[in-house]
Amino acid sequence: MSFRSYCSTVKLLQQHRLIERLILMRLSSTKTPNSTGSLHSSQEGSDDQSGKMRGWQIHEYGGVEILQLSNNIKIPTITSPNEVCVEVHTASVNPIDVAIMGGYGSTLLNVLRCNTNIEFPLTLGRDFCGVVTRKGMSVREDIQIGDKVWGVVPPHRSGCHAEYVVVDESCISHKPETIDDIEAAGVLYAGLTAWSGLFISGHIGGVLGAVTSQGGGQGKRLCILGASGGVGSIATQIAKAENVKITATCSTDCIQMVKNLGADHVIDYTSDDVIEKFRDLSFDVVLDCAGLGLEYATKVPWKFDQYITFSSPLLRNIDSNGIGIGFFKNIVNLLESNIQSMSKYRGLSKWAYFVPAPQGIEYLTKQVERNKITPVVDSIFDFDATSDAYQRVADGHLRGKVILKIK
Ligand SMILES: NC(=O)c1ccc[n+]([C@@H]2O[C@H](COP(=O)([O-])OP(=O)(O)OC[C@H]3O[C@@H](n4cnc5c(N)ncnc54)[C@H](OP(=O)(O)O)[C@@H]3O)[C@@H](O)[C@H]2O)c1
């Protein structure tokens, strides 16, 4: 193993230790109810007087048929002084909702949710737009009852496919006025995933791009695989806004759409000679937004410094093997793939993840306000037809986001 491969290997192991440490910190930060059961926070504002709401829930893992609409769910309460309760007006359905519905990630998510929620009934939904109805005592001053906000729900928390959701204040910000509630519902989960892939894992904007909302990346060469979907369509617009040189892939029917989003060069991945079209192309970062995984990095005759995929086996390995062996298997998978890609292309392969980072939310808010990001909406469903929306996501071939109208 060369010195460079050795250093990269050590860096990857350190990243995995960091994830383990984060889980341990989460496990040790247990909150204890006070005598009134209200958990250290005073609440202001009000929501529905009945204390009940409508929401979609699952009581077991399975397909779309297990989703149930209930009229009798308790409106979630604020359990920490930094939390807000939001009346949800619109939300999006993401591929992760369909995956969690099928049991994906349940082992690790149950560990993370052990002191906040029991596993079932489970409400899904990761991003939303709505109005603040209650706030904890320590919530920042610029967030007031009645404010229109957009936000995200971390995967281990009870989701937003319901009339109300409670999240930490760091997960919301004021909704940009340049877009409507439907468009706003689908930006943040996919957008924070794209932002994290480009700026935290890909560090196209250097250190400041990862720790602040400043962005960056001018002149970098980026390849986006799957630019037509939720994550890919936002990644393409972010890269265009940062004057990055973009090669993108998609199927024939979306070539014009992907050019309109800002790609300089589009490759139709359904063409027979697609692999050959990459020959001798060279990229600072290849971003896999098409679910192709680490294996794809070594199938194509390109050159890259970093290949970043959002399709990580992390949760699946833990589901199959438990936390200890699952983590070990993840490290082995990553090392195997890096040894191959480094010996063949001298490039590094990585996994990237959705990160609910406030600086990412600030970045996306700014770019939407400047009209640099225009949300792409695939389809809109009424709340009562939420099962159909999940089916639309499960069927694939999405062109942007699937949105639910809740209020
Ligand atoms: N790690 C994380 O935290 C995280 C977070 C969010 C998403 N993800 C993953 O990231 C991926 C993208 O998510 P998403 O929400 O953007 O999904 P999506 O909306 O379903 O988009 C996927 C897009 O890729 C296209 N596509 C499929 N096969 C392709 C190929 N071989 N080459 C190029 N394009 C292809 C699809 O259209 P056609 O099939 O019609 O071409 C579709 O437009 C998914 O695998 C998702 O599970 C991971």
Cβ of 290 below 6 Å from ligand 1: yes
Residue nearest to atom 5 of ligand 1 (CA): 354
What pLDDT was estimated at residue 2? 43
Cβ of 191 below 6 Å from ligand 1: no
> Could you give the CA distance from residue 362 to residue 359 in angstroms, rounded to a whole number?
5
C-alpha of residue 398 to centroid of ligand 1, in Å = 8
Residue nearest to atom 40 of ligand 1 (CA): 397
Residue-level pLDDT, tens digit, the chain, 407 residues: 443 443 444 344 344 444 434 433 343 333 333 333 344 444 555 566 789 999 999 999 999 999 999 999 999 999 999 999 999 999 999 999 999 999 999 988 988 877 555 789 999 999 999 999 999 999 999 999 999 999 999 999 999 999 999 999 999 999 999 999 999 999 999 999 999 999 999 999 999 999 999 999 999 999 999 999 999 999 999 999 999 999 999 999 999 999 999 999 999 999 999 999 999 999 999 999 999 998 899 899 999 999 999 998 888 888 888 877 776 777 777 777 666 666 666 689 999 999 999 999 999 999 999 999 999 999 999 999 999 999 999 999 999 999 999 99
What pLDDT was estimated at residue 312? 84
Mutate-to-test residue for ligand 1 from 397, 399, 403, highest number of ligand atoms within 8 A of CB: 397
Which CATH architecture is the domain 190-351 placed in? 3-Layer(aba) Sandwich (3.40)
Q: Which atom of ligand 1 is nearest to the CA of 189?
A: 6
What pLDDT was estimated at residue 38? 40
Q: Which atom of ligand 1 is nearest to the CA of 233?
A: 16
Cβ of 226 below 6 Å from ligand 1: yes
Amino acid at 282: S
What pLDDT was estimated at residue 14? 44
Q: Do domains 52-187+375-405 and 190-351 have the same CATH topology?
A: no
Q: Which region holds residue 243: left if phi is over 0, alpha if psi is between -120 and 50, else beta?
A: left
pTM tops 0.85: yes
Q: Which atom of ligand 1 is nearest to the CA of 99?
A: 47
Give the Cβ contact number of residue 396 at 10 Å: 10
Question: Is residue 83 within 8 Å of residue 41, measured between CB atoms?
Answer: yes
Which CATH architecture is the domain 52-187+375-405 placed in? Alpha-Beta Complex (3.90)
Cis check for the bond before 356: say yes or no (omega within 30 of 0): no
What angle in degrees, to the nearest 10, is found between the helix axes of 230-241 and 358-369? 70
Domain limits, the chain: 52-187+375-405, 190-351
Cβ of 223 below 6 Å from ligand 1: no
> Could you give the CA distance from residue 262 to residue 270 in angstroms, rounded to a whole number?
20
Instruction: Name the one residue in this structure whose structure tokens are 């999240």.
Output: 167
Radius of gyration of the chain (CA): 21
Q: What is the pairing mode between strands 282-288 and 265-268?
A: unpaired
Cβ of 311 below 6 Å from ligand 1: yes
Give the Cβ contact number of residue 322 at 10 Å: 13
Q: Which atom of ligand 1 is nearest to the CA of 378?
A: 19
What pLDDT was estimated at residue 44? 53
Give the Cβ contact number of residue 311 at 10 Å: 16
Question: Is residue 216 within 8 Å of residue 206, measured between CB atoms?
Answer: yes
> Could you give the CA distance from residue 298 to residue 314 in angstroms, rounded to a whole number?
20
